[in-house]
A and B are shown apart, each in its own frame.
Chain A
């Protein structure tokens, strides 16, 4: 489009060399790869920070400066949430949605590039604040502590604002693309479930992100211009921050998990060689979670001094979410049941996702119960819970998705042997790290502490050893991807014999994706059916 015009030097479309990945590129596949690689770098960065935290926690006394410790877990949480799990899903969606719906690109390619570069800009803003005075109030930035924090807190808020804008632009783009650009024959109920998950996610982003943006803006105004919104001295209210923050940040956990569930719903039928079980139930439960997710935010605030009536209201809404979530899990089991299971790495991670996510979901129900939450709120039990849903859940699915679509994105196969090694190392080290921490929280260890009572030392040492192993577990993954990208066996267009549209074009797909708009005559998971399944044109694995 604009490639060779006057502004071609700035705006590119498609990648002819690696340099094009560093431009304001308007091709959805380039943007998808930009997102995936950039967010993965933030993940590695956030992971290294976690290793510093776990190193500190080997010993019950302070070894690092406690303010620095606070700054490190603030950056760890912010990087993992704002710069990894939320935007990596935009990476998958960018790469996959136009392919899955038979479109040439996203609806607004230049907005798309803008949303990626806003993410980079926002991420760098958050990071750069740390050189001027570190934000050290956790990713939750509760007022009035966040009003006391050094200037890095303002950078943190501004960076999060930019990242939020990026997320918002992306959500509008996904919705418009899915609703207006589906190829002929691709009715809504023939869409891959990943597309439904992205619709549900984009709706949350659209309605919740502006609320966080408003809260962040008020925080910046109060910090820089002395306006009063959250400090009591000037008739502000610190609890208002919590309501605004969680009105976004609880739905945000569904922003982080729904696309992961979408990825798992793609992987399971392909490696079970069966139609997905309960297509409508899985798609519908995504929408149900997205809507109900707006009604639960104050369950993060049970100990602020709420009336029992308010507490019970939010307990009811929070617990009900377990129902559509359970529906998904049972339908995934139904998909595996009676299949012909092929244990490739994507399936291992998808199955690992189910098992780990169920643990996180069950501890989530205990947290929704007000009397139990009053005890374990802000303890290591919450840390364990959130890592089971965010790492055992989202990140397992992300790994599964990366292995699943790696042949499509790069045109090459990864090594199954290294993939399996990566899976088992991750599964074991993850559980070694976080399972014991439930106990620490129940016994009375608060979160966000650099020093703790000596009786918690053994459990923390186990968790730290697990965390160091988790750090190592990324190495076979990185090695596998880098080496396979360079010299892996050619994958061909459809190594998994899958039926959705992204597998019906070359790997990697050409610029513009489809030579002519495809016509869809069946759903994406019609395995085990009389019509011929495309044969894999390369040996997989």
Chain B
């Protein structure tokens, strides 16, 4: 691809389009200020715009950190593209009476390289950051409280094999690791605790695992995230996160 395809006759022609001048002027201080504003907005959005619910687990802290970074980067890229787009739409609009053509630029290898490698760099950084968070989520602490979760159309059931307890709600202590072993009795279901930012499918006759450490005492919704039939929408439950001492009291009450 040729960098520029300048046609001498055309360049010399007295087209005098205001658009033509704008192209060369664009890379001036205006562009620098715009870039700074975009980066600043990205930082502000990543830091202050909270779209996620309160943090209820140790895993949620990591995932939210990742999400906020991505939100900030996404906001910056969106503003960059939208800003350039709106600027172009205003600056290069056809003025009344102007019948000319645009400037015959066919491309630029340098720009192609730049906008291939810059996004690639961001992507690789995001992959590295996401992988790190993923490994830390999977990095389970020892001696968890094991809860067997059975999903069937359209109820959740939670069993505590160590205590011979069964409950329609999930009760866990704050601050200690919990491991759920999920299985479905009919179709695929998916256990989602938005407050924990965690979700795990429950598959028919195959056991799947989900580990977490709840941090915030309180009651949080559990919903089914995989379409499982007519009652899918109401296949809900609660996770009750107890302060540690209350949890042993709950266990005693059940036994």
Show the binding face of A for B, using Cβ within 8 Å.
Answer: 62, 65-67, 70, 136-138, 140, 142, 144-145, 148, 231-232, 238-239, 272-281, 303-305, 308, 311-312, 315-316, 319-320, 322-323, 326-327, 329-331, 333-334, 336-343, 351, 354-355, 358-359, 362-363, 365-366, 369-372, 374-375, 377-379, 438-439, 442-444, 446, 448-453, 526-530, 533
Contacts and interface: CB of A to CB of B under 8 A. Distances in A.
30 contacts: A62-B233, A65-B230, A66-B231, A70-B227, A138-B227, A142-B187, A145-B228, A148-B187, A272-B102, A281-B107, A281-B112, A323-B123, A327-B115, A336-B88, A337-B26, A338-B92, A339-B88, A340-B94, A354-B81, A355-B85, A372-B66, A374-B199, A375-B63, A375-B67, A378-B225, A443-B53, A446-B233, A448-B233, A449-B232, A449-B233
B159 interface: no
A278 B1 contact: yes
B104 A529 contact: yes
B126 interface: yes
Nearest to A453: B221
A273 B101 contact: yes
A527 B208 contact: no
A331 B225 CA distance: 39
Nearest to B99: A340
A15 B81 CA distance: 45
B223 A444 contact: yes
Contacts of A319: 123, 126-127
B58 interface: no
Contacts of B78: 358-359, 362
Interface stretch (B33-41, B133-141, B240-248): B133-141
Most chain A C-beta atoms within 10 Å of own C-beta, residue among B84, B101, B188, B197: B101
B112 A327 contact: yes
B233 A527 contact: no
Contacts of A303: 190, 199-201, 225
B106 A275 contact: yes
B249 interface: no
A210 to B, nearest CB: 25
A339 B85 CA distance: 12
Interface stretch (B14-22, B143-151, B161-169, B171-179): B14-22
Interface string B175-207: 000000000001110101011011111011110
Contacts of B200: 303, 305
Nearest to B70: A366
A178 B103 CA distance: 30
Nearest to A333: B84
A528 B188 contact: no
Contacts of A362: 74, 77-78
Contacts of A327: 112, 115-116
Contacts of B204: 144, 231-232, 238
B127 to A, nearest CB: 5
A247 B222 CA distance: 30
Given A341-B89, A527-B101, A372 B67 contact: yes
Given A144-B187, A145-B187, A232-B204, A528 B101 contact: yes
Contacts of A370: 130-131, 134
B77 A451 contact: no
Interface of B: 1, 5, 7, 9-10, 17, 19-20, 22-23, 26, 51-53, 62-63, 66-67, 70-71, 74, 77-78, 81-82, 84-85, 88-89, 92-94, 98, 100-108, 111-112, 115-116, 119-120, 123, 126-127, 130-131, 133-135, 137-138, 186-188, 190, 192, 194-195, 197-201, 203-206, 208-209, 221, 223-234, 236
A239 B187 CA distance: 11
A452 B236 CA distance: 10
A363 B107 contact: no
A70 B190 contact: no
A519 B133 CA distance: 59
B17 A340 contact: yes
Nearest to A60: B233
Given A273-B102, A280-B1, A533-B101, A446 B115 contact: no
Nearest to B129: A369
B67 A366 contact: yes
B89 A372 contact: no
Smallest CB-CB A-B distances: 6 pairs: A444-B194, A274-B102, A449-B233, A528-B104, A339-B102, A305-B208
Nearest to A70: B230
Contact of A369 (B70, B84, B201): B70
A402 B110 CA distance: 35
Contacts of B138: 308
Nearest to A282: B107
A374 B197 contact: yes
Nearest to A237: B206
A338 B102 contact: yes
Contacts of A279: 1, 106-107
Given A281-B112, A305-B209, A366 B102 contact: no
A527 to B, nearest CB: 5
Contacts of B208: 304-305
B88 to A, nearest CB: 4
B221 A444 contact: yes
Nearest to A354: B85
A239 B127 CA distance: 26
Given A66-B233, A304-B201, A375-B198, A333 B88 contact: yes
Contacts of A305: 200-201, 203, 206, 208-209
A375 B199 CA distance: 6
B62 A274 contact: no
A375 B197 contact: yes
Contact of B227 (A62, A145, A443, A533): A145
Nearest to A450: B233
Contacts of A280: 1, 107
A272 to B, nearest CB: 5
B39 to A, nearest CB: 16
B192 A446 contact: yes
Nearest to A319: B123
B85 A448 contact: no
B214 to A, nearest CB: 15
Nearest to B106: A275
Contacts of A351: 85, 89
A275 B104 contact: yes
A354 B84 CA distance: 12
Contacts of B23: 337-338
A371 B66 contact: yes
Nearest to A276: B106
B234 A443 contact: no
A451 B224 CA distance: 12
